[in-house]
Amino acid sequence: MKTLSLGAAGPQVQLLQLALQRAGYAPGVSDGVFGADTRRALLRFQRSAGLSADGVAGPLTHRALNPWYTGYVPYTLRRGDSFYRLARRYGSTVQAISAANPDLDPLRLPVGAVVNVPLPFDVVPTGIDWCSELLRFCCEGLAARYPALKSDALGESVMGRPLWLLALGRGERGALFNAAHHANEWITTPVLMKFAEQLARADANNSDIFGKPARELLAKAWIALVPCVNPDGMDLVTGDLASGPYFSAARAIAADYSGIAFPSGWKANIRGTDLNLQYPAGWENAREIKFAQGFISPAPRDYVGVAPLSAPESLALYRFTLSYAPVLTLSYHTQGSVIYWRYLDYEPVGAAALARVFSGVSSYAVADTPYASGFAGYKDWFIQNYDRPGYTIEAGLGDNPLPIGQCDRIYGENLGILTLALDAAGAP
């Protein structure tokens, strides 16, 4: 986290405001602007935490706020502690604490052991703009609450940001869901993260998700979620990256494309390569089409790169896919409320029927990808390489970037698709 003080703005300020609100120090409107209300709330928090009350959110303050960023408290057990007492102290539940610490016997708690105590709110927020720091906190928090959910990185972005991976399930067959290949389609990141949280909670509580028993789903299949393929681009579009050499280089690229708003129109990775035009499935066709449209060098969108898989983000997802060979993939984009299921004349067995099922639970249309966008995408390569069902889901309606206020509605539209895709992956 950056050091934040009066006058700061951006998604990290929204995250600070959210943490203060979660901790009981309402900072007023969570508008992403560090104003007088936010400073007063921060001063109250600093005093209560025994910190120097300077109204500046620096490293020590961020460390003290970490439980409200991640959604859990790491607590060292003392003599006389019990899950019941910890639940009362932190506003949690015995069930949630037990789920977060499955290897501990509640009747024989070892003094000195560290337990993770979930706090009484969802880890994944859907009401603030996202950034790579928020994604990191959420991956940490979900893995702490739900140990069956494994958090890792499948690679790094150009700027060295982790390409987070969340994995869950015990079956032999699996599904891979990815989101935010495109920077200004970052709203798909909280959609996948919210699904990860709901699925992991249902698994831990032995309850249903979209009418399906979570444990039965996860006994038959595993799921891998890559919630943000393009974290550098997300940070650029949401304003978390607003200075420095990478920002300046991106702004210089954008200056040659006056018809594309900066940074809101940016889709590419931070070097100006479109990550969903990087896969070895008709890449030469995509190059010809996009060059004819004028995208012959790094650009805010539609530049295919110097070669397939020349961008580290696309290469990392490609390699991960080859390593685990999922039987089904979903790639989340915005917008249009449409489902694309085919690549050229490839029609994997069952793919069309499952697309119609997805349409039925979402009201999204099923369509063929427009020719000008029909090559070198992740879905295209997956279908070509495996002849298995792969889908691009264009979620929501409007102009990118879609406002975060659409997130809950988009999630509701797609919960059925996400759940039934996992169910299909586990089918023999």
Determine the Cα–Cα distance for residues 191 and 210; give it in Å rounded to an integer: 15
Q: Considering only CA atoms, give the Rg of the chain.
A: 22
Determine the Cα–Cα distance for residues 392 and 373; give it in Å rounded to an integer: 12
Burial 370-404 (b: 16+ CB within 10 A, else e): eeebbbbbbbbbbbbbbebbbbbbbbbeeebbbeb
Q: Which of 140, 185, 197, 394 is catalytic?
A: 394
For 100, phi then psi, to 5°, come to -75, -15
Residue listed under structure tokens 């490839």: 346
How far from 162 is each of 119, 132, 157, 179, 204, CA to CA, in Å?
26, 9, 6, 14, 27
Q: Which of 365, 421, 346, 406 is nearest to 191 (CA)?
A: 406
Strand partners, 4: 57
Reply yes or no on whether 394 is catalytic: yes
- Rounded-to-10 torsion of CA 185, 187, 192, 193: 130
Residue 259 corresponds to which amino acid?
Answer: G
Q: Please state the separation of Cα 312 from the chain's center in Å.
A: 18
Can you read off the two tokens belonging to residue 399? Answer: 């102009």
Strand partners, 329: 176, 390
Residue 271 corresponds to which amino acid?
Answer: R
Residue listed under structure tokens 């389609």: 185
Q: Within a 13 Å sphere around the CA of 409, how many CA atoms are in the beta-carbon half?
A: 10
Q: Which of 385, 280, 265 is nearest to 324 (CA)?
A: 385
Using DSSP, state whether 130 is helix, strand or coil: coil
Contact yes or no for 15/67 (Cβ under 8 A): no
Q: Which of 399, 238, 420 is nearest to 339 (CA)?
A: 420
For 162, phi then psi, to 5°, come to -65, 140
Contact yes or no for 414/363 (Cβ under 8 A): no
Task: Using DSSP bridges, classify how beta strands 114-118 and 72-76 pair: parallel, antiparallel or unpaired.
Answer: antiparallel
Contact yes or no for 269/297 (Cβ under 8 A): no
Residues catalogued as catalytic: 394
